[in-house]
Structure 1
């Protein structure tokens, strides 16, 4: 028997359904808590609004229809009632008063853009703008949240009320956690659920009771408590942090996080964020009054201000300013912004202008130096201007200039003002098969140095140097089957001749210059120092070559690069003097054996002695993002008078579908001791997760004289719970990135 169809006009139904949309629609800003995971057995309910009726209309379809004197309509057999905002399905339905009242019974399903409800009966009172459902199970549309309720009442005045109700984000029948309450209500204009006489259950065991409990039922930013973090370590004792999120405005918010440490006391951490049409930034402050673990109970603090914004169409303003109370703050209390191994906190305020040919950067650079570390110079200010202009079809003119003043916190240290200008005339010729670049540059630098008594520095210094560079490269490619079919191989030889004139520079101080480490690409750099205080004289030829194996999608499977510099004359700049007629041989290999195995190494070998100066090796087996094992080694013969020789192992592997294990250890072979040991295990399901982490690493604490200890270790254990869907869906840190070193992929293949 075919369904019959009846059309009934009723505008009074609209406010009830419209109100439900206003209160329950999840934000479009979803997070991982609502994204179905591979091991989840439930998908969020979806709703197709295309089948809804025009505004003010209702369509009723049923197998049998009976209308009594245009006042009562009876429907039975597969009844479908569709309005402009909701759909109701039932075994039978009755419409009274020309659509004013609707009663549906028998396997009733109600669904709109916010929720889906199955119940024994539904009663809709249009004049009272009231919808009642009895003995229900509900699911939130677009959100993995569901539960049961004895009664559900939707009213335009009071909102939504659920009696004898439960709520969870776990799948039905697998409720690992659940909220049960005598009543849950959603008031008009809010996305918070308010529960009375609330019991929180893990499995079927009640773990705590609250007479009143408020929780979010959407992913919109909302004011309220976030999930706490509980850890333990020898530095802080038992460490408990309770974040409170304040949604001040759509473009302003703040997180206030009281932190209690049994060894040190109570700390207050705050983070304020803002976003405008032309700028964004945040201000972060941590304050610990009277640290009880340190003699004298000093106050301790850390702050940071970040700002990025547009000023006009081409001007950018950037601010990164921070500070802390003492050298050991990062070691004792940690930071989301800096590592425990950092010795400098960088500060800068810059304003930049960019156009097609001209760029201008003005900045003030400063440092917060930790421990008894050599004080660094700050640039207050530094102005850089670069201008580029094509000259015809073959030539290009470029001019770089800089004006900077360098100051030091040490009153006895020299200070300097430096002006530098470097015009360059170049002829760059490039094509698909190669390139040839010929250029000549004039370096003109003027120094004004003060506070130089007792040094070999001069008050006024002028330095004029000339440089000529000729660079050429060829690109060959052919089909190959070395690794697999459908691959191609390239050979990219390159050569560079570089000449830089010499001038004695011993009368110039070191303000922003330090020797650079040399890799394969650095061999063609032509400069051996950062900054401009030293420009090395050169008369040298650099030879290098790169070969690549590409698959049919032009993805690199294998890359080998080698290079070496041959000196035609001895270098005369004292700080860059070399004892050999050639540089160390630099080589780098990246190799993806197959989709799972990858290998990376870079090495520098002194060819006169065949000694390795620097090397790093990494080999990794990776099955997917959570299944990998990595072995790494790094070696430096001489780094500030010390030899670095360390080996490390990192691994991540699921134990079962829900259990994940991460481990990492680094060992110092030179000193025969562990540097860091880290292990974490995590259980995660659709609706909750728990993580246990244990770690032991070097303390690196500074003593009273500013010297850093290299023999003390710190150990700790942390435990974190996440109940998805009623607060934060994740943690602030990842087990792969946590710790002193963290995880890095060992290769750089494209």
Structure 2
């Protein structure tokens, strides 16, 4: 879909009126972009065009003059009768502030304030250049008539012609036989034409009659009547349609309509017809006030021909600022059935969606504390998830965190409080209170640091419905009786320390090398938690950052016992001139002094004395090339548990090569290759291949070509991908015609490539 205007708190002011007839030329500028399009800004859209714009004199750039701005006229000859008429001939130049007018002859009648110019007339101000053969105007009522008017919008790389331009007054302009394009001279690959155009500059609205678009001389859009905006004020109207075809959906056609309801309220309505399923209506309504921003998305497909029933998706979002730094936010999503996204959403993340959150959050941030209260429930949209593994409702989940300095000692007092009520049908339910106070400090110089931390964690559960079955379903081991209150408390001590050593390295290349050893000691005594339920806690993946964390679990239902030291070594090669890291290597491991007895289930204690060895290497010798690899190696089994490697060569936007590999032992083994690369100056190829080596199956592949000229581009791609968990395959075809400076027709292939090929677009990637 085409992007649409963003709602502003207030409409932009109209351009200032001027007593001079020359203003009507400036007002041509916004009139050349019709309402049915929304311009896509890109850093280099005109790279294939001839030099544009021509050099402009500095004195013609700036704000427009007013009626009181003096007029200066130069000419080879001047004749006339005082107070009756003046005639200027031969290289006539009229200057009024930043406006510059040239002609071969100028006739001025001072009593009636009438003027006529003819003979190679030209006008220049800011990004507007105008040319014609003859013009007459009345300075008194700010009106005029121009014949065979040609214009250029220099900053927009646009040009056009009008058989006649009539300025009726300061607010009304009429154009006859209008032609507009962004193609260079002697090229009309695409053109917008209109027989008649009426522009009301006061309201910022225009009306065109008998308007049509043509490409390569072939008309493909016509409207007998079309209303459009003249400036940045939003205007209701149709956007360019989207279309495509796939095996699942058949032929697809979508026609977006933008409805500007109010300066703080707008809506996008998109009927989307799929020949195999029916017509779905997508709607998104947005609103904005001084304190609130919100949106409502409602998508409805009546009687899906394949599914056999009505289908819908709802999403409501709102964020409201209240006095005293309070804020209220809502995020509510609901879908008609569990297969909705698998059937009707072709985005890359459609298969991974398992739950839709519905939450209401109240929060306050001050200089010394942060408070948040969240009410959250979920809709599960994955039928494979068992009832005992469904997420709990949090009604509510409240947090109160603070971080205060203790005088000038360098220590901070931190307090993390959390209260959560968990509810789930036919399950163990509880009120959980979790307190985590601690005192931390950081001392050192640029070459070393020491950061001690001492604190504790206290957790209390008030259980509801604590039967044997509900305890088993919640991950707790069975205990005699039905205790309704469980508590756990334990001290937590950590000491983080490190050195940062630096030396010159290859002085001729202006390089420096660092050596950064780091030790992190952690002590948490063992507490028996086998009878404790597990509501929202899981064990985190082991990464390099895990060496310096105080818990191996995410969530307070488990507190991991620890008596360990994390040992890490990092070395960097830096460009001493820019400070940019060219090469970074890190290696680390945890050494355990005691067994780890706390786990998520009832398994045996972990007795290994060393953790996996984790290593990371990042290479960026140039701005264009980067590589990164992570390896997790088990010294006990002498096997790699997890590895990933990513190469990217990106000398410029839309010119990129990516190669990636991911492996998780016995779970995942994938290779991913994607590219967008120019074959010639005008032709670019792009594609992606994502393959599972473990299953010997291609998860997704697509390929396509782009042809780009100065003023238009044509892109098409074919795609094959697995769209659901059963491994079913869909094949589709997308095509897009982009008329530069105007918009695009067809499915937005560009947006699809931005999402699917890392580094394809103009945004930066770390």
- TM-score using structure 1 length: 0.89
* 1:637 aligns to 2:665 (yes or no): yes
Distance in 2 (CA, whole Å) between partners of 1:744 and 1:445 is 48
Aligned with residue 642 of structure 2, among 614, 627, 635: 614
CA drift of 1:127 comes to 4.7
Change (3 A) 1:92 1:15: closer
Tell me if structure 1 keeps the 8 A contact 2:303–2:309. yes
CA RMSD of aligned residues (A): 3.0
**235-244 vs 152-161, which deviates more?**
152-161
* 1:82 aligns to 2:107 (yes or no): no
CA drift of 1:737 comes to 3.4
Tell me if structure 2 keeps the 8 A contact 1:25–1:113. no
Distance in 2 (CA, whole Å) between partners of 1:285 and 1:34 is 34
Query: Aligned with 2:546: secondary structure?
Result: helix
* 1:305 aligns to 2:316 (yes or no): yes
Tell me if structure 1 keeps the 8 A contact 2:592–2:609. yes
Unmatched segments (≥5 aa) in structure 2: 1-16, 472-477
Tell me if structure 2 keeps the 8 A contact 1:267–1:288. yes
Aligned with residue 658 of structure 1, among 676, 682, 686: 682
Corresponding residue for 2:720? 696
Aligned with residue 274 of structure 1, among 278, 287, 310: 287
Distance in 1 (CA, whole Å) between partners of 2:31 and 2:225 is 23
Distance in 2 (CA, whole Å) between partners of 1:170 and 1:233 is 33
CA drift of 1:278 comes to 3.1
Aligned with residue 564 of structure 1, among 568, 589, 603: 589
* 1:736 aligns to 2:753 (yes or no): yes
Tell me if structure 2 keeps the 8 A contact 1:556–1:749. no
Tell me if structure 2 keeps the 8 A contact 1:22–1:189. no
Distance in 2 (CA, whole Å) between partners of 1:129 and 1:595 is 56
Distance in 1 (CA, whole Å) between partners of 2:302 and 2:363 is 39
Change (3 A) 1:389 1:149: closer
CA drift of 1:262 comes to 0.4
**314-323 vs 99-108, which deviates more?**
314-323
Corresponding residue for 1:464? 489
* 1:345 aligns to 2:367 (yes or no): no
Distance in 1 (CA, whole Å) between partners of 2:207 and 2:681 is 34
Distance in 1 (CA, whole Å) between partners of 2:321 and 2:28 is 36
Change (3 A) 1:275 1:41: farther
Aligned with residue 14 of structure 1, among 13, 16, 19: 19
Corresponding residue for 2:670? 646
Tell me if structure 1 keeps the 8 A contact 2:39–2:742. no
Tell me if structure 2 keeps the 8 A contact 1:480–1:489. yes
Query: Aligned with 2:375: secondary structure?
Result: strand
Tell me if structure 2 keeps the 8 A contact 1:680–1:735. no
Corresponding residue for 1:9? none
Change (3 A) 1:308 1:51: closer
Distance in 1 (CA, whole Å) between partners of 2:97 and 2:143 is 17
CA drift of 1:659 comes to 2.8
Task: Map Cα deviations across residues 218-264 of structure 1 (whole Å, 9 max, x no partner).
Answer: 56532211111112112221111111112233333211111111011
Query: Aligned with 1:321: secondary structure?
Result: strand
Distance in 2 (CA, whole Å) between partners of 1:575 and 1:159 is 75
Distance in 1 (CA, whole Å) between partners of 2:51 and 2:200 is 28
Task: Map Cα deviations across residues 669-712 of structure 1 (whole Å, 9 max, x no partner).
Answer: 11111111022323344533332121111121xxxxxxx41x31
* 1:37 aligns to 2:67 (yes or no): no
Distance in 2 (CA, whole Å) between partners of 1:723 and 1:18 is 28
Tell me if structure 1 keeps the 8 A contact 2:735–2:749. no
* 1:375 aligns to 2:378 (yes or no): no
Corresponding residue for 2:190? 177
Distance in 1 (CA, whole Å) between partners of 2:662 and 2:200 is 60
Aligned with residue 437 of structure 1, among 444, 451, 454: 451
Distance in 2 (CA, whole Å) between partners of 1:494 and 1:157 is 73
* 1:533 aligns to 2:542 (yes or no): no
Query: Aligned with 2:665: secondary structure?
Result: strand
Task: Map Cα deviations across residues 423-443 of structure 1 (whole Å, 9 max, x no partner).
Answer: 212332132111112221121
Distance in 2 (CA, whole Å) between partners of 1:242 and 1:655 is 33
* 1:200 aligns to 2:213 (yes or no): yes
Change (3 A) 1:63 1:181: same
Tell me if structure 2 keeps the 8 A contact 1:215–1:726. no
Corresponding residue for 2:694? 670
**66-75 vs 172-181, which deviates more?**
172-181
Distance in 1 (CA, whole Å) between partners of 2:564 and 2:244 is 57
CA drift of 1:180 comes to 2.5
Task: Map Cα deviations across residues 409-467 of structure 1 (whole Å, 9 max, x no partner).
Answer: xx222111100112212332132111112221121111012223123264210111111
Distance in 2 (CA, whole Å) between partners of 1:107 and 1:237 is 56
CA drift of 1:356 comes to 2.2
Tell me if structure 2 keeps the 8 A contact 1:722–1:731. no
Change (3 A) 1:114 1:440: closer
Aligned with residue 167 of structure 1, among 165, 175, 180: 180
- The residue correspondences of 1:706-725 to structure 2 (distance < 5 A) are 708-709=725-726, 711-725=727-741
Distance in 2 (CA, whole Å) between partners of 1:51 and 1:733 is 38
**257-266 vs 20-29, which deviates more?**
20-29
Tell me if structure 2 keeps the 8 A contact 1:17–1:85. no
Corresponding residue for 2:246? 233
Aligned with residue 403 of structure 2, among 359, 378, 388: 388
Change (3 A) 1:213 1:222: closer
Distance in 2 (CA, whole Å) between partners of 1:284 and 1:416 is 34
* 1:356 aligns to 2:367 (yes or no): yes
Tell me if structure 2 keeps the 8 A contact 1:26–1:143. no
**243-252 vs 117-126, which deviates more?**
243-252
Task: Map Cα deviations across residues 711-742 of structure 1 (whole Å, 9 max, x no partner).
Answer: 31122111223334445699485243345x86
Tell me if structure 2 keeps the 8 A contact 1:26–1:142. no
Query: Aligned with 1:331: secondary structure?
Result: helix
Change (3 A) 1:476 1:84: closer
Tell me if structure 2 keeps the 8 A contact 1:53–1:82. no
Tell me if structure 2 keeps the 8 A contact 1:631–1:648. yes
Corresponding residue for 2:436? 422
CA drift of 1:488 comes to 0.8
Change (3 A) 1:231 1:192: farther
Distance in 1 (CA, whole Å) between partners of 2:600 and 2:43 is 59
Tell me if structure 2 keeps the 8 A contact 1:20–1:114. no
CA drift of 1:198 comes to 3.2
Query: Aligned with 1:472: secondary structure?
Result: strand
Distance in 1 (CA, whole Å) between partners of 2:750 and 2:360 is 28
Query: Aligned with 2:600: secondary structure?
Result: helix
Corresponding residue for 1:116? 129
* 1:333 aligns to 2:338 (yes or no): no
Distance in 1 (CA, whole Å) between partners of 2:397 and 2:274 is 43
- The residue correspondences of 1:216-227 to structure 2 (distance < 5 A) are 220-227=233-240
Tell me if structure 2 keeps the 8 A contact 1:231–1:720. no
* 1:501 aligns to 2:512 (yes or no): no
Tell me if structure 2 keeps the 8 A contact 1:13–1:126. no
Tell me if structure 2 keeps the 8 A contact 1:215–1:727. no
Distance in 2 (CA, whole Å) between partners of 1:34 and 1:254 is 29
Distance in 1 (CA, whole Å) between partners of 2:256 and 2:695 is 41
Query: Aligned with 1:737: secondary structure?
Result: helix
Distance in 1 (CA, whole Å) between partners of 2:450 and 2:43 is 55
Aligned with residue 586 of structure 1, among 604, 608, 614: 614
Query: Aligned with 1:340: secondary structure?
Result: helix
Query: Aligned with 1:98: secondary structure?
Result: coil
